[in-house]
Amino acid sequence: MELSQRVSSLKGSVTLALAASAKEMAAAGRDVINMAVGEPDFDAPRLAREAAIAAIDGGAVKYTPAAGLASLRQAVAGHLSQTRGVPFGAENVVICHSAKHALSHTLLALVDPGDEVVLLDPAWSSYYAQVQLAGGVAVHAAPRPDGTCAPDLDAVREAITGKTRGVMLNTPSNPSGYVWTREELEQLASICEEHDLWMISDEIYGRLVFDGAEHVSPTSISPAMKERTVLVDGASKIFAMTGYRIGYLAATPDLARTVGNLQSQISGCPNYISQRAFEACLVEEPEEVKEMIATFDRRRQVVIDGLDRMGLRGPEPKGAFYAFPDLHERFDERGSEGFCADLLEAEALATVPGTAFGAPRHIRLSYALSEERLVEALTRLERFLSTRP
């Protein structure tokens, strides 16, 4: 049986596959350290858990409007107005099954077959697949060549053609931990305005910024920029609610309505229980969040110190929970994929090859692990490197 062209060249998520093989190794009895996961190791906040249980016990676990509960859309709008410093209303917001879902629905709503979407490398692997599934063509804009993973705005300009519909932005970045400065965003915004492009702004790591870095949303650059931005965020990272599967997008009322309609046909409303749990965390900031951010910052420092000790260079991780060292001098002809496979086999340390993100000189290390495990992971990496030419 022939499959559709849409899926025939589709590959599964590299990071999820790696996380799965690490879990298999662990199940077979090896002491695996999993630095491949993009998942906080904390439990969801107490408020979320209590709200979820109350939602189940309340007996109203039924369909909600396709775009989500009115009260949650209002809570998201209030949260965005406060954190991005520009006004949002419930009419701007669509609650989705996750940020991933919000991104894929956005692309389905904006991209026609053959349309181009600019990805700012190194970029999260799912963007490539999602653009492709929407019938679009992902066009890559390389970062500055100095290894910092900072954007090269000239490369962005060169990537734009008459077919470009939009740019996908992720700051703080998965995989590099890079946080865009306001000046860089202003330049990107003026490129979008000049070429009449959408900005799809994935802000899922927006609150995980460290060491004086500031997360700037393109919606706050100017009212015109807010109109052409689709802001995506969710509960997975900041509230450690990955398994709840809940996120949202905010856009113009027209686009929000369109995505709501699309969602009503493709998947229907997001999970009611998760909507209630998420709403509880937006109405009142969970007490665990501050400590979680501080914990990530301490872990970040452990990783920075460890990589420094080994003399490894890479972008300074100022946001999200990833480090992205450049190890290309230690790769054999199989590149970053071979390196990560050997590291997993030899030291039971799971990491992600940079090829998954369009950055073949790097590997990605997630520091969503306890400090104790991080220290052990760095010891394993150091030992492994000592065995390589």
Ligand X SMILES: Cc1ncc(COP(=O)(O)O)c(C=O)c1O
Show the tokens assigned to 106.
């956005």
Give min distance, CB of 206 to ligand X, in A. Answer: 11
Q: Does 247 bind ligand X (CB under 6 A)?
A: yes
> What distance in Å separates the CA atoms of residue 368 and residue 19, rounded to the nearest whole number?
13
Binders of ligand X among residues 83 to 122 (CB under 6 A) are 98-100
The binder of ligand X chosen from 170, 258, 275, 295 (CB under 6 A): 170
Q: Does 174 bind ligand X (CB under 6 A)?
A: yes
Note whether 366 and 37 are within 8 A (CB).
yes
> What distance in Å separates the CA atoms of residue 157 and residue 187, rounded to the nearest whole number?
10
Measured from the CB atom, the residue of 174 and 263 that comes closer to ligand X is: 174
Q: Does 201 bind ligand X (CB under 6 A)?
A: no
Backbone angles phi, psi at 96, to 5 degrees: -120, 175
Give min distance, CB of 383 to ligand X, in A. Answer: 29
| Cβ neighbours of residue 340 closer than 8 Å, sequence gap 6 or more | 18, 350, 351, 352, 353, 363
Give min distance, CB of 5 to ligand X, in A. Answer: 25
Measured from the CB atom, the residue of 98 and 271 that comes closer to ligand X is: 98
Measured from the CB atom, the residue of 38 and 45 that comes closer to ligand X is: 38
Instruction: Give strand pairing partners of 231.
Output: 201, 250
Residues contacting ligand X: total by CB under 6 A: 13
Q: Does 274 bind ligand X (CB under 6 A)?
A: no
The binder of ligand X chosen from 34, 130, 236, 274 (CB under 6 A): 236
> What distance in Å separates the CA atoms of residue 52 and residue 58, rounded to the nearest whole number?
10
> What distance in Å separates the CA atoms of residue 107 and residue 290, rounded to the nearest whole number?
33
DSSP secondary structure letters along 274-321: HHHHHHHHHHS--THHHHHHHHHHHHHHHHHHHHHHTT-B-----BTT
Give min distance, CB of 364 to ligand X, in A. Answer: 10
Q: Does 199 bind ligand X (CB under 6 A)?
A: no
> What distance in Å separates the CA atoms of residue 301 and residue 8, rounded to the nearest whole number?
42
Q: Does 340 bind ligand X (CB under 6 A)?
A: no
> What distance in Å separates the CA atoms of residue 131 and residue 129, rounded to the nearest whole number?
6
Q: Does 242 bind ligand X (CB under 6 A)?
A: yes
Q: Does 278 bind ligand X (CB under 6 A)?
A: no
Q: Does 202 bind ligand X (CB under 6 A)?
A: yes
Contact map string, positions 120 to 149, toward ligand X, x by CB under 6 A:
----x-------------------------
Q: Does 204 bind ligand X (CB under 6 A)?
A: yes
Show the tokens assigned to 228.
């052409």
Give min distance, CB of 379 to ligand X, in A. Answer: 26
* Amino acid in the structure at residue 138: A
Among the listed ranges 49-57, 183-191, 234-242, 294-302, the one in contact with ligand X (CB under 6 A) is 234-242
Measured from the CB atom, the residue of 66 and 380 that comes closer to ligand X is: 66
Sheet holding 352-353, edge to edge: 322-323, 363-366, 352-353
Binding site for ligand X (CB under 6 A): 38, 98-100, 124, 170, 174, 202, 204, 234, 236, 242, 247
